[in-house]
Structure 1
Amino acid sequence: MNTAAAPEAMRPSSELEAGSPVSHKGRILAWASWDWGSAAFNAVMTTFVFTVYLTSRAFGGEDQASAVLGAALAVAGVAIALLAPVTGQRSDTGGRRKLWLGVNTAAVAVLTGLCFFVFPRPEFLLLGVTLIALGNVFFEFAGVNYNAMLAQISTPRNIGKVSGFGWGMGYLGGIVALLIVLQLFVQPSFDWIGASTADSLNIRLVAVFSALWFFIFALPVLFAVPELPRAGRGARLGFFASYGLLVRRIKAIYRTSPHTIYFLLASAIFRDGLAAVFTFGGVIAAGTFGFELKDVIFFAIFGNVVAAVGAVFGGFLDDRIGPKAVIIASLAGLLLAGTAILVLGNGSYEFLGLAWAGTTTFWIFGLFLCLFVGPAQSSSRAYLARLAPHGESGELFGLYATTGRAVSFIAPALFTLCITVATPLAATGEAQRWGILGIMVVLLAGLLVLLPVKAPDRTEIAVVPAA
């Protein structure tokens, strides 16, 4: 990558520009505000509320609607994998990181707001899944630029703490957004026009709320963090020529810093396992441990609080012992907690005079899972930010998104395989619990691949030669 840059540009400080009227703390708060706002799309639209609405009977049946949604999201995943690295690269070299963060965030907000017009009838299913799928694409593009900004609002000495603070804000923002949605739209505590269930008005208004929530809380970062200066003075490459440059840069990274590529591969594997913990956690809580919907939501709220605490605490540890140590400890904790849930199941036990049922098992060890997920996610982002050459974080985080998408089928596939194998062998209602084993295998594989990877220097920024 660019070795022609002046030594000052490569010093181990950050991409932060001097002379801004906004303090460093102000920039960090503004940056984390985006994470807080993005939870409306993640938690409300794609996890707990709107996709549940889209896969209801109103759209032609749960099975058919789920299949259509899954297909749309699969297409979106391919688009993200193909386009994310190049969009990150071009925003870096063109000095337009903040611009594209704003453009992509606005696109997500608009697409989310348009979900208001998805009426509960089968003919609107295609519109709904298209809007959600496109929203996912632009959300990932925005995330590439947002994650790359981590180097602009932090230094090598506090990058872990700042990353953890951002993740924590995301978890807490999800809790607040979900509570507001529940109180105003899903289970309103008072009568108002937004509580009307006619034509699912209350759920469609959730989309408007989510769009406004994300847009409003995304604004501070666009005002507080300066734009990244354009890298170099060469002619701009065409879009397709950017792929050639990307390949040459990947080869250059592998020659000079192969452990960066190794980390991308390792993190792709264990991040798939981390995503599966949240994706299938509610399914296991309901199917194996008998949680009702309200109990699942209640657990989700507590789980997000615990995950936020873990992310913030993990960020402090990150700056002291390094991101690799935090990730390894977190993955080990996840394996222990997941194994406890798998082994204990929904049985009743007594230990040292204390008796508990299966629901208590899930509450205890399920919250431990949440506690370790936060630090693993936060330190993974900080790890890569430490490896990114000055001014080229966007391209590297684009590769981060691509590698994650490339293996995102592994945990769901192993989860399903383990249940399928266990079905004829386990007692009735017990097979689903063995899906946990599939998730644990993915986390263990990610941990084993990570172990030989060289940890990044906590006081220096990587420099990679030009391709």
Structure 2
Amino acid sequence: MDTTKRSSPPAPARRRAFGWPVYAWGLWDWGSAAFNAVITTFVFTVYITSDAFGPGADAKLGWALAAAGLLVAVLAPVLGQGADRSGRRTFWLGVNTAAVVVVSASLALVAPSPDYLWLGLVLLAAGNVFFELASVNYNAMLNTISTPATVGRVSGLGWGLGYIGGIVVLLIVYFGLINPEVGVFGITDADGMDVRITMLVCAAWTLLFSIPVLLTIRDDKSARTKTPRAGILDAYRLLFRSIRTLWGRDHHTVFFLGASAVFRDGLAGVFAFGGVIAAGSFGFDPGEVIIFGVAANVVAGLATIAFGVLDDRIGAKRVIVLALAAMIVAGTGVFFLYDYGATVFWVLGLVLCVFVGPAQSASRTFLARLIPAGQEGEIFGLYATTGRAVSFLAPAAFSTFIALGAALTGVADSDDVQHWGILGIVLVLAVGLALLLPVRSRTMPDSALVTTPAS
């Protein structure tokens, strides 16, 4: 297998594992978590599917997000390829991040009325598209701010800051605006103003913490190719040619893209349905769900940073395998120990969360070590596309196992067997693990294994 070292930027720019460029890069994760944690998870999606927006809002939300996923799947690899060819990753990160900020602020226009439902859904879908496209360029920067010996720690730092930053901003808006009857500046829930002002806070949060990376990691003009700009069809021809080249040079990269798409969907399912299971199966009230969510993200964030060190020591694949295996055991335990009540979910649910972040971070570093120099944006675009292509797996498996549980137990109300859904998520994780096991990882050269000083 080809283990040739990639050409790298001058040594002085990459000597220190945790210099300011690394922290500036990680702060983007901290800032953009406002979109993930507040807008798409705990606040705005709950708001837009409330009774104030009329019946069927939940289903319409699903269709809107599905359309967004399709756009990302189509656009991500081509736009990532364009950023590689133009040498303007930071520029396009800035453009897409600015779009996320504008969309986040525009969500403040969505009043609690059926007349505003589609405005809210279209804005939310657009925000998801711009966020995913920004993430392609953000992930592609990983190799420029790390070395093969530090890529795991750097990636883990970014993921960890994302989890913790999301919780900080969530706590700020929850206790400052959402929870009290009268929040800061006299804001109440009248006309949805608590949620709408929260959207402005999220926009400001994302903007503020995105500035450091845009000012610190500048585009390298020397990396720009002299190839004329390609049209959409030409870009796809180049893309398929790159896939064939990848397959011919190292088909394990292609295998990994497929395997990671499956297990990453399972990882997403843990957070997507964790709160649902906590409330529906274990009797958590809304306040307890929020408390569990805070604990889950803090645990995931700290574990991700810690496991980044392990990633650099034993390799990303071993971290992923360990994490997936532990999650399969914990998820199965949630199902079989269901009768023991909320304590089971607190313990095993947090065990699940311990390993979500490390698996996500190690997946990114595994791919970063495989990518040929100059193709980071294109391959991370494929990474986004493959993930979106199977994003139905965890939701479908969750619902299928609930239906199976109802059929096997003879229970008429599927809510009474909701805990069966965890087996569906476990199955997706297990399939992803099985697909990953045959994939060979790149062996790092001995010189890359020398520990570099951190600052």
The separation in 2 between residues aligned to 1:419 and 1:242, in whole angstroms, is 43
Quote the Cα distance in structure 2 between the aligned partners of 1:165 and 1:294.
29
Distance 1:58 1:417 in 2: 30
Aligned to 1:432: 418
Match of 1:127 among 99, 106, 119: 119
Aligned counterpart, 1:36 = 30
What count of residue pairs does the alignment treat as equivalent? Answer: 440
Counterpart Cα distance in 2 of 1:317 and 1:269: 23
Q: 2:347 aligns with which of 324, 349, 364?
A: 364
Instruction: Give 1:422's aligned residue.
Output: 405
Matched, 1:451 2:437: yes
Change over 3 Å in CA distance of 1:15–1:304 after alignment to 2: farther
Taking a change above 3 Å as real, the CA distance of residues 125 and 45 of structure 1, as seen in their structure-2 partners, is: same
Which residue of structure 2 aligns with residue 4 of structure 1? none
Is this contact kept in 1: 2:181–2:189, CA < 8 A? no
Q: Report the counterpart of residue 452 of structure 2 in structure 1.
A: none
Using structure 2 for the length normalisation, give the TM-score.
Answer: 0.93
CA separation in 1, counterparts of 2:197 and 2:281? 33
Match of 1:213 in 2: 205
Match of 1:59 among 53, 56, 59: 53
Say whether 1:183 aligns with 2:154.
no
- Does the 8 Å CA contact 2:7/2:373 hold for their aligned counterparts? no
Report whether the alignment pairs 1:234 with 2:227. Answer: yes
In the superposition, relative to structure 1, how do residues 41 and 443 fare at CA in structure 2: closer, same or farther (>3 Å)?
Answer: same
Conservation of the 8 A alpha-carbon contact between 1:39 and 1:171? yes
Query: Does the 8 Å CA contact 2:317/2:441 hold for their aligned counterparts?
Result: yes
Higher helix fraction (1 or 2): 2
Deviation at 1:312, TM superposition (A): 1.1
Judge conservation of contact 2:148–2:369 (CA < 8 Å) in 1.
Answer: yes
User: Which one of the candidate residues 284, 288, 298 is aligned to 1:295?
Assistant: 288
Distance 1:17 1:208 in 2: 41
Q: Aligned match of 2:275 in 251, 270, 282? A: 282
CA RMSD of aligned residues (A): 2.0
C-alpha deviation, 1:153, in angstroms: 0.8
Per the normalisation by structure 1, the TM-score is 0.91
Find the aligned partners of 1:406 and 1:34 in 2 and give their Cα distance. 26
In structure 2, C-alpha distance between the alignment counterparts of 1:266 and 1:66, rounded to whole Å: 30
- The yes-or-no answer on 1:413 pairing with 2:396 is yes
Question: What 5-or-longer segments of structure 1 have no aligned partner?
Answer: 1-9, 349-357, 462-467
SS in 2 for 1:435: helix
Report the residue type matching 2:378 in the other structure: E
Q: Tell me what 2:326 maps to.
A: 333
Q: Residues 302-342 of structure 1, C-alpha deviation per residue, up to 9 Å, x if partnerless?
A: 11111012211211011000000000000000011001101
Alpha-carbon distance in 2 for matches of 1:145, 1:460: 29
Q: Are the aligned partners of 1:186 and 1:195 in contact in 2 as well (CA < 8 Å)? A: no
Q: 1: distance between equivalents of 2:67 and 2:205?
A: 27
Percent sequence identity is 52
Aligned AA (2:228): A
- Equivalent-residue separation in structure 2 for 1:191 and 1:206 (angstroms): 11
CA contact (8 A) 2:53 2:114 kept: yes
Give distance in 1, aligned partners of 2:407 and 2:262. 29
1:410-461 Cα offsets, whole Å, 9 max, x none, are 1111110110111133356541111111111110000010001001223499
Q: Any gaps of 5 or more consecutive residues in structure 2?
A: 448-455
Alignment check: 8 A CA contact 1:88 1:398 kept: yes
Match of residue 353 from structure 1: none
